[in-house]
């Protein structure tokens, strides 16, 4: 099972396959896999590095 999240309403749920629409609000095409902890760390790590480099200048 994979955890998914609606990009419109934020509802999180598990499903064995990618749903067509959000089971809570019914929005079509806004459901994406929920980011893992590694995804979130990788998303902010380059930004932290850029911020440190900017402060040094």
Query: What pTM does this model have?
Result: 0.65
Q: What does the alpha-carbon distance between residue 36 and residue 13 come to, in Å, rounded to a whole number?
A: 14
Strands (E), the chain: 2-6, 12-15, 31-33
pLDDT computed for residue 39 by the predictor: 82
Q: Can you give the residue ranges of every domain in the chain?
A: 2-56
What average pLDDT does the structure give for the chain?
86
- Given the candidates 2.120.10, 1.10.287, 2.20.28, 3.30.2320, the CATH classification of the domain at 2-56 is 2.20.28
pLDDT computed for residue 31 by the predictor: 96
Per residue in 6-27, pLDDT (tens digit) is 999 999 999 999 899 999 999 9
pLDDT computed for residue 36 by the predictor: 86
């Amino acid at each position: 099972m994979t955890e998914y999240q609606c990009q419109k309403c934020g509802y999180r749920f598990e499903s064995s396959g990618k749903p067509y629409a959000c089971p809570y609000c019914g929005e079509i095409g806004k459901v994406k896999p929920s980011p893992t902890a590694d995804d979130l760390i990788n998303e902010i790590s380059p930004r932290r590095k850029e911020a440190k480099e900017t402060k040094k200048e």
